[in-house]
Amino acid sequence: MSSNGDNGLKLKESPIENQRPLSVVVVGAGYSGIYTAIRLIQRLKNVEVNVYEQNEGVGGVWWMNRYPGVACDIPSYSYQYSFAPNPYWSSLYAPGSEIRAYLDDVATRFGAKRHIKTCHEVQRCVWDAETKTWDVKVKNLLTGQVFNKTANVLVSARGGLNDISWPKIDGLWDFKGKLMHSARWDESVDLRNKRVGVIGNGSSAIQIVPKVRALEGVKLWSFARSPTWIAAKFGDNAMTKLGLDTDSNMAYPLVLRGTEMQLASKEMFERDMKQRLKDRPDLFKAMIPSFAPGCRRLTPGPGYLESLGEDNVTVINTAIERITETGVQLASGESVELDALICATGFNTDAPPTFEVVGKSGMTLGQRWKPYMESYLSVAVDGFPNFLMVGGPNSGVGVGSLTIVLESVGDYVVKVVRKMQKEDYASIEPKAQRVADFSAMVDEYFKRTVFSDECSSWYRGGRRSGRIVALWPGSTPHCLEALRAPRWEDYDYELVVDEAGSASNALRWMGNGWSQTQVDGDASWYLDEGAVDVPEEGRPEDAAVNRWHPYSH
């Protein structure tokens, strides 16, 4: 039964598309921040976008890492945006300088640079429950000026590889020689004719050791307690040997326990490492891990194993007792005198953002993430409305393309902002139960993978055991499908307050009966070429459209 009486509703004087003004602050201008900025300005109208980057240029981890030999550790063709392929990579594994140049070029060509402010450090973000906005405290690192920016939506695009992890060794800061971290490399340093120590044997150390060892007059000590698998051009030769083409997504069974591919990869890597260390069987025994390939990030190591056998390289498997003013003291009592010490010890991947994020009821993100990081599908956290993450917890991949995952998450962010804008939501926040559900999925999934083997890995924050915090619980295509169509029912919402000061009719966003397409003079857009979905003629069983594809519907 309907009524023609006065219900107190006042129509919103806006077309149904409802492009109300919104402001978005994005923190970080690496792969994630650049992509998110590009899509926000491309796909949304009336949205103010400000990207704050603390470094002097764009590129994130690729701006920070400038050590000798720094390069992509997956094939270059898997490490570029889908809309901006680069045919000019100089090698299968592009050097860091080329990746920095590529990211700067993409940010410039597609308009993101206009919205990025470098040398701007976000220090604190506080949710205002009354205004339903974020108060963002920013410091201009060039001038020292501190200012506040209000945003409807806060996007953390900082990723997990920016909070430097120094080794927790007594006396580290007492060292009087040259002390460097791989992510804080001093490009002015000259290591020729020096005694150099390298702590770690992860992806950075694997790239650093061959380059530094080859310098004139260098004597190098590699402090590497943990054994590790070294993959020789894994994106190329190894994939072919395993019967795969260049599609790295097909290597997914590599990370699943007991699969034919996993077992074959272990045999192949062991055979390859034994061949490359044929003159040093002692090193081969020390290098072969008990855990399966993939538990730690697989890194191609051209020249690394060969370098360990060179006369000017000494491999130390003994634990370091402490760092002294002049070098390293081992648990065995032996001392190694050094002129330079390089810490290739990665990042704190299980830590909250370096800037403080204060959500509802004064809870910080650091407090929420005790004892471990949690999220809803890696993109949002309960208790933190209008806060989204690109490169958040459990957003990485063990095999496959990371950039396409970051694109998918960036697209998801755009959809959230558009929903808020069009449907007059003042806030959106994942239900606590959905965050708990995703955590349970994460825990259960990784039991069947090699990532849960006992190995020290940044996938679990540098620990040998415990929760996997950095990887998506599935393959790359699995992640793309999970994020393709948001499950809006997994969120709680608050409506924008109307002119009368009360909560709006939930459908007031429908506006005054007009469509923006009419205002713009293109009201028959649905007949335009490309807008009409023409089914294929012929028998249904022969129709190409019946070959299901996620993006054909």
User: Would you state the structure tokens that stand for residue 178, as one six-digit string?
Assistant: 């040259």
- Phi and psi at residue 156, to the nearest 5°: -90, 115
Q: Where does a domain end: 440, 471, 493?
A: 493
CA distances from 261 to 264, 265, 281, 284 (A): 5, 6, 26, 23
Judge whether 277 lies within some domain.
Answer: yes
Residues 327 and 191 in one domain: yes
One pLDDT digit (tens) per residue for the chain, 553 residues = 445 666 778 888 999 999 999 999 999 999 999 999 999 999 999 999 999 999 999 999 999 999 999 998 888 888 899 999 998 999 888 999 999 999 999 999 999 999 999 999 999 999 999 999 999 999 999 999 999 999 999 999 987 777 888 999 999 999 999 999 999 999 999 999 999 999 998 889 999 999 999 999 999 999 998 889 987 655 455 445 544 445 678 889 999 999 999 999 899 999 999 999 988 888 888 889 999 999 988 887 888 999 999 999 999 999 999 999 999 999 999 999 999 999 999 888 777 888 999 999 999 999 999 999 999 999 999 999 999 999 999 999 988 889 999 999 999 999 999 999 999 999 999 999 999 999 999 999 999 999 999 998 888 877 878 899 999 999 999 999 999 999 999 999 999 987 656 667 899 999 999 999 999 998 899 999 889 998 888 765 655 544 555 555 4
- Phi and psi at residue 323, to the nearest 5°: -100, 135
Contact 385, 363 (CB under 8 A): no
Please tell me the distance from the alpha carbon of residue 88 to that of residue 13, in angstroms, as a whole number: 51
Judge whether 548 lies within some domain.
Answer: no
Residues 357 and 486 in one domain: yes
Residues 369 and 309 in one domain: no
Sign of CA dihedral 437, 443, 444, 445: positive
CA distances from 352 to 13, 389, 469 (A): 42, 12, 12
Number of domains into which the chain is organized = 2
Judge whether 3 lies within some domain.
Answer: no
Residues 257 and 292 in one domain: yes
Residues 537-551 as b/e (b if ≥16 CB within 10 A, e otherwise) read eeeeeeeeeeeeeee
Residues whose CB is less than 8 angstroms from the CB of residue 149 and which lie 6 or more positions away in sequence, other chains included: 25, 50, 135, 136, 138
- In DSSP terms, which residues pair with 288 in a beta bridge? none
Which parts of 227-378 are beta strand (E)? 230-231, 299-300, 313-316, 320-323, 327-330, 335-337, 340-343, 356-358
Q: Where does a domain end: 343, 362, 394?
A: 343
Q: Give the max Cα distance, the chain.
A: 93
Q: What is the 3-state secondary structure (H, E, C) of 184-212?
A: CCCCCCCCCCCEEEEECCCHHHHHHHHHH
Residues 339 and 356 in one domain: no
Sign of CA dihedral 489, 492, 498, 502: positive
Judge whether 56 lies within some domain.
Answer: yes
Residues 326 and 353 in one domain: no
User: Would you state the structure tokens that stand for residue 466, as one six-digit string?
Assistant: 């415990």
Residues 125 and 179 in one domain: no
The predicted structure's pLDDT at residue 248: 76
Please tell me the distance from the alpha carbon of residue 179 to that of residue 214, in angstroms, as a whole number: 20
The predicted structure's pLDDT at residue 242: 47
Please tell me the distance from the alpha carbon of residue 204 to that of residue 198, in angstroms, as a whole number: 10
Let me know the angle formed at the C-alpha of 327 by 326 and 331, rounded to the nearest 5 degrees.
135
Contact 30, 37 (CB under 8 A): no
CATH number at residue 28: 3.50.50.60
- Phi and psi at residue 20, to the nearest 5°: -70, 150
User: Would you state the structure tokens that stand for residue 92, as one six-digit string?
Assistant: 């299968």
How many Cα atoms within 13 Å fall on the side-chain side of residue 542?
4
Residues 46 and 113 in one domain: yes
Domain that includes residue 320, residue range: 172-343
Let me know the angle formed at the C-alpha of 382 by 381 and 385, rounded to the nearest 5 degrees.
85
Residues whose CB is less than 8 angstroms from the CB of residue 457 and which lie 6 or more positions away in sequence, other chains included: 295, 296, 297, 451, 463
Contact 368, 393 (CB under 8 A): no
Judge whether 429 lies within some domain.
Answer: yes
Residues 278 and 318 in one domain: yes
Judge whether 93 lies within some domain.
Answer: yes
356 exposed, middle or buried (CB, 10 Å; 0-12, 13-18, 19+)?
Answer: middle
User: Which pTM value belongs to this model?
Assistant: 0.92
Q: Where does a domain end: 287, 318, 343?
A: 343
Residues 178 and 105 in one domain: no
407 exposed, middle or buried (CB, 10 Å; 0-12, 13-18, 19+)?
Answer: buried
Sign of CA dihedral 535, 536, 541, 545: negative
Judge whether 516 lies within some domain.
Answer: no
- Provide the CA 3 distance to its chain's centre, in angstroms: 54
Judge whether 532 lies within some domain.
Answer: no
Residues 338 and 370 in one domain: no
Q: ω before 371 within 30° of 0 (cis)?
A: yes
Among residues 223, 116, 224, 227, the alpha carbon closest in space to that of 455 is found at 227
Which parts of 392-438 are beta strand (E)? 425-430
Among residues 461, 225, 468, 506, the alpha carbon closest in space to that of 346 is found at 461
Residues 329 and 367 in one domain: no
The 3-state DSSP class for residue 418 equals helix
